[in-house]
Chain A
Amino acid sequence: MLNYVWIGLVLIGVLAAAGSDIYDASSNRYRNGEQFELQYDSTNASAGRVSLTREYFNKFYGVAIESPDTLNFPATLTGNSLKITTDDNSPELWRTVAKTDDNSNQIIAKVEARRGSELTILLPTTSLVKTKAVLDAVISYSELAVKIALGLIGVMAFWLGIMKLAEDSGMIKIIARVMKPVMVRVFPDVPPDHPAIGAMIMNIAANMLGLNNAATPLGLKAMDELDKLNPNKGTATNAMVTFLAINTAGLTLIPATAIAIRAAVGSKDPTIILLTSFFGAGLATIAGILAAKLLQRLKVYRISEPPGESEGGASK
């Protein structure tokens, strides 16, 4: 199924980008090649501000932005090149023009005529906006993936070291024993004293406490242990899927990130979501476990390629 999701994301993405660019081009959304008029007031030799009315902007682009009444941008004028700086509050159209033009927040326009402070300019030709964005995404997300993976090395090494200690000392078995009644029900295919159980418990505990740095390494350790019980390498086992379903539900006692953002944007009661998100994630966890248990019986999800001799976990 991951195959289909992957194909879907890539193809829908590329097609939507192409479609949106074709539509933009046919309606000349960015008014390429049309002259634009605005007011330029210099504060010193090269720097100044440009301003125009909202009405003019709306009429020019055929849009309906609602505020402010006068649009104002810092700008520099050198020769017949006008550099307009946009920011997060600028109209989206101009932000897109700036971004697509040279991947910054500046629009470099050509001055066609000048009468006192009145400028007639030609904005840079803007086309293939979404396609360029897709191209940028491919590169930046590839880099992000490597950055995330490399960033894991340190904490990963640390927790694998600690887990090895716990294994060698037998600590992991003690942890496993404490939760045995629950774990044998949720993970019937895993022997109750297997190190995988201990690692899974530690991962779930770390998630509950919001220790994200520890949760991922512990979870990967648990996956490694589960894979030792896997007769079909490369194919997920029932236990792995159940474990992942628990992880994707993300049950946590303190949703620290959400609370921090709430506080940052000025909430009077940032922790009001403690109960609600515990409820939501709790339901998600239960649903995930049940879904994993029910779906593993479906024919399409049975392990289709038995190894040398048929092990047939789900087919009995």
Chain B
Amino acid sequence: MIKQILEALSIIAIPLIVAAFVAYAAKKKVPVYESFVAGAKGGFEVAIKIIPYLVAMLVAIGIFRASGAMEILVSALSPVARLIGMPPEALPMALLRPLSGSGSLGLMADIMKKYGPDSFTGILVSTMYGSSETTFYVLAVYFGAVNVYRTRHAVAAGLIADAVGMLGALFICRILFG
């Protein structure tokens, strides 16, 4: 029920926002078309601006993933995962989630196919996927758009958020489904 309402909301939200904004602007006597175009002009520039940042980030992540370093890391960290009650199969998900959106999506599907989507591991990995964003992608794109390269504590804060998200997912899944 709540889900249906939310889904409907997410479909009508954009048309509604657009209509409201345009109507309000018209009421305020803003030259709507002119103003829209003036703003939209920036779209190309922003997209082009993020290319170097995105290339740098995605290539580094691509190298890391292709090299098999992840598998080494997973086997090194498996005992730690077991210690905190995380099934070792779910560990690659926790490690990959901040690095790669498409990668962790594929991994989630693979793990659920193998262990079943309604198994503890299946529920856990899909919760993990939903509990975080692809941190490094967000960092590259958002900072790239404003040419910020000295990111200060952004990486640390983002990774702390990820770690807490993953542990939170584990915690709640263990309580409800463990």
Judge whether B133 and A17 touch: CB under 8 Å.
Answer: no
A101 to B176, CA, bound (A): 48
Given contacts A149-B48, A276-B127, contact A220 B108 (CB under 8 A): no
Residues in chain A near residue B66, CB distance under 8 A: 13, 17, 130, 133-134, 136-137
How far does the Cβ of A102 sit from chain B's closest Cβ, in whole Å? 18
Q: 1/0 contact trace for B2-24 toward A, CB 8 Å?
A: 01001101100110011011101
From 128 to 178 in chain B, residues with beta carbon under 8 angstroms from any chain A beta carbon are 128-136, 138-139, 141-143, 145-158, 160-166, 168-169, 172-173, 176
> What's the A-B contact tally at a CB cutoff of 8 Å?
382
Residues in chain B near residue A12, CB distance under 8 A: 64, 67, 69
Judge whether A236 and B123 touch: CB under 8 Å.
Answer: no
Judge whether A16 and B165 touch: CB under 8 Å.
Answer: no
Pick from B109, B128, B153: contact of A265, CB under 8 Å = B109
Given contacts A220-B142, A224-B145, contact A287 B160 (CB under 8 A): yes
Residues in chain A near residue B138, CB distance under 8 A: 244, 247-248
How far does the Cβ of B155 sit from chain A's closest Cβ, in whole Å? 4
Pick from B28, B56, B154, B162: contact of A284, CB under 8 Å = B162
Q: Is A181 an interface residue (CB 8 A)?
A: no
A163 to B155, CA, bound (A): 28
Pick from A257, A280, A298: contact of B166, CB under 8 Å = A280
How far does the Cβ of B108 sit from chain A's closest Cβ, in whole Å? 6
Judge whether A137 and B139 touch: CB under 8 Å.
Answer: no
Judge whether A156 and B43 touch: CB under 8 Å.
Answer: yes
A2 to B157, CA, bound (A): 12
A276 to B150, CA, bound (A): 35
A/B interface sample: 22 pairs, CB < 8 A: A12-B67, A130-B68, A138-B59, A141-B59, A157-B44, A171-B24, A214-B14, A220-B46, A240-B154, A241-B154, A245-B158, A247-B133, A248-B134, A268-B118, A274-B3, A280-B172, A281-B131, A281-B132, A288-B157, A291-B160, A296-B153, A301-B152
Task: Across the A-B interface, give the 3 residue pairs with the lowest CB-CB distance, nearest first.
Answer: A164-B39, A157-B43, A280-B131
> Taking beta carbons and an 8 Å cutoff, which residues of A are in contact with B?
1-2, 5-6, 9-10, 12-17, 20, 130, 133-134, 136-138, 140-142, 144-146, 148-150, 152-158, 160-171, 206, 209-211, 214, 216-217, 219-220, 223-224, 226-227, 230, 233-236, 240-245, 247-250, 252-259, 261-262, 264-288, 291-292, 295-296, 298, 301, 303
